[in-house]
Structure formats: C-alpha cells, structure tokens
Amino acid sequence: MAADIRCTADNLTSWSGDSLAVGLFSGDAGSSSRHLLIERFGTGVADRLEQRRFKGKPGECLSIDLLGQTPSLLVLVGLGAPADFGPEQLRGAVAAASKQAATAGAGQLGLAMPVEGLAANNAAAAMAEAVRLSLFCDQRFKSEADAKPGPERIELLGLSEDAQAAVSASAAVCSGVELARELVAAPPNVVTPAALADTAAAIAADFGLELKVLERDDCEALGMGSYLAVAQGSDLPPKFIHLTYRPAGSVERRLVLVGKGLTFDSGGYNLKTAGSQIDMMKYDMGGSAAVLGAMRAIAELKPAGVEVHMIVAACENMISGGAIHPGAIVKASNGKTIEINNTDAEGRLTLADALVYACKLEPDAVVDLATLTGACVIALGEEIAGLWSPCDTLAKSLIEAGSQGGENLWRMPLRASYREGLKSGLADMKNTGPRPGGSITAALFLQDFVTPELPWAHLDIAGTVWSDKGRGLDPAGATGYGVRTLVNWVRAGGPA
C-alpha cells in the first residue's frame, strides 16, 4: 500500500511527527532554513553541521538523532547552489532524504524544502514522485519481506491544499511507473506474452479501456510474417495486444504508443553468449512495460481531447526445431520482404508489424519504445535514452516531456545514407546492418514500416530500462523508464 502524501502549510518550526527532513543549500550559513532550524532545535544543530563538515552538496545527508524529542530524527540534506536549484535538484534531495529516513525506520516524514521559488504544483508533484519512487521496494519474490516498510504518513511542508491535486495526479503516474518496474523485474517464467496480455486486460477492466488481443491466427491473417517469425521458436503463444483509451468528449489528437515486448530474448539461433547478458534478457519487454504503465496512468488521469492507443507485439525469442533460421526470408504486413541475417535483431522484426498496424489507425503521431540495441547502451549509457525522429516538433515535445519528469533523451541522427547497410541481394532488406552505427540502422529499419510523413519517433531504452546500482529516484533494478515521459507528453496533447 502506497503511503499517504499530503501538502501542509506547516513549516519546519511548527510541523510535528517523528522524522523531519530539511533541505539546505551549499554555502548558505545565513539562510532562512538555518535560522528556523536553530530556532527550533537550538544552536547545537549548527555546531553539528560544522563538526560533520556538512557542505550542502547535492544529495549529501546528515542524520541527527534527537533522543526524547519530537521529531526524534532530523535529516539534513544538501541542495547544492541556490542558482542551480530546480525540480531536478528538488527530486534528488527528496529522494536522498527519504531513503535515509526510511532506513532509520521513520513512521511519519515531514519534508521541508525551499519550494518558494517553484510553481507550487510542480514542486508538489516533484516531491511526491521523488518520495514514492525512491522508496519503492519490490518484495514479491521473497518468501519473507527483508526491507523495512517506508513511512506511513508523508507531509510536504510549505505547500497549501491547492497543491494536493498535483500530488494526486503524481500518484497515478507513480502507479504507472511501479507497474512498469514490476513487469520488467519479474522473471521470464512469470512475465510471459500471455501475462502481458493479462496485465492489459486488468487495466482495461479497472479503468474501462477497450482491449483487443490478436492471437497467432489473427496475426497470420493480417500477414504479420515478420513478427510471427520471431515468435515461432517459442512454446508460448504470441499475443498482439491493442489497448485503447478514449476520452469523454471530442477527440483532437489520436496518439499511438508502441512497445517492444520480448518477454525473453535468447538471441534465437544467433544465440547470445554469457558476456551478452543473456540472463538479463527478461528486461527486453521494457518498452511494453513503459507503454502499459503509461496507459495505466492515462486511464486514471483521463486527459481530455486525446485518444491513446497502445500496441505490443509480445512474444519470446527462443531456439527450437521450429525456430526461424538465420538467413530466412519473411514478409511483413506491409508486403516488404526481409532477409533475417541475424535472429538476435528480433525486436525490430516484431516492431515492424506493430508499426504497420499502428499507422493503419491513422494517428497524429506514433512513438515506439524499445530495448532495441546494445549499440545505444554503448553510445549513451544508462542515464540517457536515444531518440530518433524525422519530425522536429515531435522530437522537441518528447524531449521536453522527458525533462519535466526527470527522464533524459538525446536526439540521434536518422541518417538516410546509412540505410545502405540494410541492403539485401535477395530480399527488400536485411534486418541487420554493420556493427558501427548499429542503433542508427535499427531506427532506419523501423522507419521502413512507418507511413511516410506520419510523425513518428523511436526511443531506444536499452540502457535506461535497468540500473544495477540504482540512482536518483531509481532503486537498484528496473527503472520504469519512459512512463513519465509518455504521460507528460500525452497530457500536453502529444506533438505540440
């Protein structure tokens, strides 16, 4: 059960509860927060800050136990320089303080941060998101919980009741991020293509969305030879999932979100080896997790004027006597023939038919998210996802939506001349180009299945889907990357 998060007009001298976290800028010996701290807790606090060489660097934390007092725990957290302070720094400080307080077993947590300089709604949303997402802890697969429960009551100080609506909206977004994290973290024997379809069905039932699941036969009838070639080596049936949110009232924009949904990627006959992280390839459905999480949030937030479709061509990439051969030639639902020169470049094969289907809906924009290439991980690492789009407005609107939610995107070139690398002597194209620029040729491959002129963007989230150590709001493991970008983007009405 997620903690109750409330805004309160209390400040750090009046708030009462067992644990209080206070943000302090670097180099601000004379700031109002320090004055209020001293007013409430005496000069001993200032001495302790001095003694422990507290500098106020971003994320720096100092805990002080106040035996027999209320609050009994004071967490001081650095905010960095005032000039650099914004929502991102606020989120980081709140996350650091929350983790510190939770480790100490806080039951109630008051967060006193300098929210005056920010719009109250933005500050409230950033803080609420930071607490909840940084304290998220997945214990589903342990027979006994081994983590302390987080605080039950969380209060955001210095914010009036008016900001409470933003906190509620952020709760819907956080539920979406948590759903995505749970889907990504779950092992491949639990999150199967059918389990992804069941998740979509649960969202549809809970929030009144429309759901269509196409079975293998249905996909065959639509000529989805590219997607089905990937699915054919698995004992698990593929599920082509189409979930739709329709707003009350008129539709001004129709948007499609497509997610790569490989519930396991063994590589197929171009089998992955130990060094290629085959054991982590459960997270190859991170794109589908992001779009499902986003749909859950959108369904709860009910934005006006936008119709949102979600498409996931879910399957596994396995080996068996029935698996596709390296070198096989298949035909996608737009009639294009593909020579599969590498069965490990399977994500683009599934996305090809998903994108053709998406374009048939005649949308105003299509965005796909995929853990598509190792090359993107090499290029951008785990903090930044790659973005490819021929459309400047769409690219801009996605980058903006991402930065609002603290998710970083970097626009990469969709350089047409690199398509040469996908030429096949026998078929219309190969599925794999040369190693250099591998994430670019992957994006160019996808572009062949998108209606020309239709605004389309591709996000390669191979690096951002998982964080081994955890960072900022992300605990170690699945990040739920993409949900916040998509929800912010949809709420802003898509491409502006």
The residues annotated with a catalytic role in the active site are: 272, 348
Q: Is 477 left (phi over 0), alpha (psi -120 to 50) or beta?
A: left
Site track for ligand BES across 267-296, x = CB under 6 A: ----------x------x------------
Task: Write down the H helix ranges in 333-383.
Answer: 347-360, 374-380
| Token pair 């991402």: residue | 402
- State in angstroms the smallest separation of the CB of 342 from Mn ion: 8
Smallest gap, in angstroms, from Cβ of residue 348 to Zn ion?
9
Q: Report if residue 344 touches Mn ion, rule: CB under 5 A.
A: yes
Residue 259 is a binding residue for Zn ion (CB under 5 A): no
**Residues belonging to the chain:** 496
Closest chain position to ligand BES (CB):
374
Residues touching Mn ion, count (CB under 5 A): 3
User: Does 346 contact ligand BES by CB under 6 A?
Assistant: yes
What separation in angstroms does the CA of 248 have from each of 4, 208, 243, 305? 29, 12, 16, 8
Q: Is 284 in the site for Zn ion (CB under 5 A)?
A: yes
Nearest approach, Cβ of 171 to Zn ion (angstroms)? 32
Kindly indicate which of the ranges 84-92, 107-115, 162-170, 260-268 contains the residues binding Mn ion, using the contact rule CB under 5 A.
Answer: 260-268
Shortest spacing between CB 270 and Zn ion, in angstroms = 11
Give the nearer residue to ligand BES in terms of CB position, either 108 or 371.
Answer: 371
For the record, the structure tokens of 455 come out as: 């605004």
Q: x-or-dash pattern for ligand BES, window 387-406, by CB under 6 A?
A: --------------------
How near is the Cβ of 351 to ligand BES at its closest, in Å?
11
Dist CA 393 CA 364 (whole Å): 12
**Helix count (H) and strand count (E) of the chain?**
14, 19
Q: Which does 341 bind (CB under 5 to 8 A by kind): ligand BES, Zn ion, Mn ion, none?
A: none
Buried b (16+ CB within 10 A) or exposed e, 395-405: bebbbebbebb
Burial class of 277 by CB neighbour count within 10 A (0 to 12, 13 to 18, 19+): middle
265 counts as binding Zn ion under rule CB under 5 A: yes
* Comparison of 316 and 344: residue with beta carbon closer to Mn ion: 344
State which residue, 159 or 318, has the beta carbon closest to Zn ion: 318
Q: Pick out residues in 424-483 that bind ligand BES (CB under 6 A).
A: 432, 438, 462
Does position 347 interact with ligand BES (CB under 6 A)? The reply is yes
Residue 386 makes contact with Zn ion by CB under 5 A: no
At a CB cut-off of 8 Å and minimum separation 6, what does 383 contact? Answer: 408, 463, 464, 471
Long-range contacts of 319-324 (CB under 8 A, 24+ apart): 319/233, 319/266, 319/268, 319/269, 319/271, 320/233, 320/234, 320/235, 322/232, 322/233, 323/232, 323/233, 323/268, 323/269, 324/229, 324/230, 324/232, 324/233, 324/268, 324/269
Binding piece for ligand BES, criterion CB under 6 A, among 167-175, 369-377, 384-392, 469-477: 369-377
What is the binding site for ligand BES (CB under 6 A)?
265, 277, 284, 342, 344-347, 371-375, 377, 432, 438, 462
